[in-house]
Amino acid sequence: MGGPRNNLTWHPAKVRYRVYALHYEGYSAAQINADPAVAASVAKTGYRLHNNTLAAAWRSAEYKRYAAGRDKTFAAVEGEQIAQRVLEDVGALSSVTDVARYELAREIRELIGAAPDEGESAVERVERLTRSLATVTRDETARLKAENAELKAQIAELEAKLAGVGRNTSKGITEETLREVEERIGLL
């Protein structure tokens, strides 16, 4: 009496989750049974997936967990895409540092909601990401300082040229320049 409540539970987990995925995506019972992986499992186990079996499967706790996980994943992906578009529209991701900050915030949010990892702890991961952000910030700062020095050199060069032009015009218009202007406008 303690056996499985429906034929789907006799199938391997990979096949069960394939059936759940097909149902979640809107496939009918006939289409689910026609799927090659499902049909192979039915042939191997001998347990058919009829309408009553599938109806019981959709009410099962395993399917409810699966559907909730898919809903959560889709919502998170959609939220990320919306946030990315908004930040791009307002120009908040215009530099490497801004992108790194955004990624760090996203990682921290994921770590808070995730189960503990077997390898690196969440705190260690956040610390590592923060250190990498500091490195990106230093690199970005060095690049901006180099660009600033280059722009200052260009400004100084342009100011020198402008000062040279100003000295020539302060002497007044020469006879030659006056004749040239009169010729161009058609007076001579």
pLDDT for res 87: 65
pLDDT for res 122: 64
Alpha-carbon gap, residue 45 to 52, rounded angstroms:
18
Cβ 44 vs Cβ 11: under 8 Å: no
Tens-digit pLDDT string for the chain (188 aa): 444 567 788 888 899 999 999 998 899 989 999 999 999 999 998 888 888 888 888 888 889 999 988 888 887 777 777 767 766 666 655 666 666 777 777 776 676 666 555 566 666 766 676 676 666 666 777 777 888 888 888 888 877 777 765 555 555 677 777 777 777 776 65
pLDDT for res 36: 93
Alpha-carbon gap, residue 146 to 107, rounded angstroms:
31
In degrees to the nearest 10, what's the CA dihedral of 8, 13, 19, 23?
A: 100
Cβ 15 vs Cβ 2: under 8 Å: no
pLDDT for res 171: 58
Size of the chain in residues? 188
pLDDT for res 2: 47
Beta strands in 12-65 (DSSP E): none
pLDDT for res 177: 76
What is the DSSP secondary structure assignment for residue 11, as one 8-state letter?
A: S
